[in-house]
Amino acid sequence: MAEHKTKCLIIGSGPAGYTAAIYTSRANLSPILYEGMQPGGQLTTTTEVENFPGYPDGVTGPQLMEDLKKQAERFGADLRYGAVTAVDFSKRPFSATIDNGDTVTADSVIIATGASARYLGLPDEEKYNGIGVSACATCDGFFYRGKTVAVVGGGDTACEEALYLSTLAKKVFLIVRKAALRASKVMQQRVLQKENITVLFNCNTVGLFGDEFLEGAKLVENKGTEMEQVFDIAIDGFFLAIGHTPNTEVFKPYIKLDDAGFIVTENGTTQTSVEGIFAAGDVADPRYRQAISAAGSGCRAAIDAERFLLENS
């Protein structure tokens, strides 16, 4: 076990963490970044990214993360594999414990641990992940132009995803496990009035199928009742819209979170409720959840951290 010291500790990788590392390194803060259990974050499970500026021909998620990582290393960022298992944000310098037993003390901290999409828990979801299964319509909807897709969920997010996909896809199924939508009345009306959206109420997805790529979903209607029936729908894409879980468990005792567990930032900055600790990316963003917005917030967090250190040196 070893002890390390740094002016800026970055917890988490992905677009937010790596961008924060680029900016803090160029500001001579000699940051230490711990990449977490999934170095590169959610984008490492995405096959093609076509909406990140600077890649006119598109880029795979893993390659994009590798490029950002190399850029951070070029400026001297100390990038390490490992996950933070405990923190003490009650006083400065702040401290963090790593899963290998090491400890790090830091004058500032940038949290970029992201948020994990909720899945149904079907083995098939992992099998077709990236080849038919997605948790981001904005990211992957373009690949399903003129095709048939399904969205799972009954809230505002699911309705928004279905409406967005309806502008691209030929047909959209909205799979709702209850007898009614939970979304706002306005969103419900928009979905129900959209000609190429079919809402399947009282339905649960129990499986996905296809040879090389996703070809369909197996559903159960009225599960557990006398009217229960199993049927298949032919689809090319299956989108999860049942929410995201922010990776904030370890920070709960110290950082203010909203009702859904996302980190609350103050006054349009990346400053959290603890002075000297900043949040970037999906861990503080329940709304946009895009690689480019995460990268932008990583830049902002780095600048906020640099200014904080200058004012408190």
| Catalytic site residue from 8, 107, 124, 139 | 139
Pair type for strands 3-11 and 148-152: unpaired
Does the annotation mark 136 as catalytic?
yes
Does the annotation mark 259 as catalytic?
no
Read off the amino acid at residue 39.
P
CA distances in angstroms from 97 to 12, 63, 79, 88, 313, listed in the order given: 14, 30, 16, 9, 24
Query: What is the residue-wise DSSP string for 248-282?
Result: -GGGTTTS-B-TTSPBP--TTSSB-SSTTEEE-GG
Q: Which of 104, 106, 105 is nearest to 83 (CA)?
A: 104
Torsion angle, alpha carbons of 56, 57, 59, 60, to 10: 150
| Catalytic site residue from 8, 107, 124, 140 | 140
Does the annotation mark 299 as catalytic?
no
| Catalytic site residue from 8, 107, 136, 159 | 136
DSSP state of 99: T
The set of catalytic residues is 136, 139-140
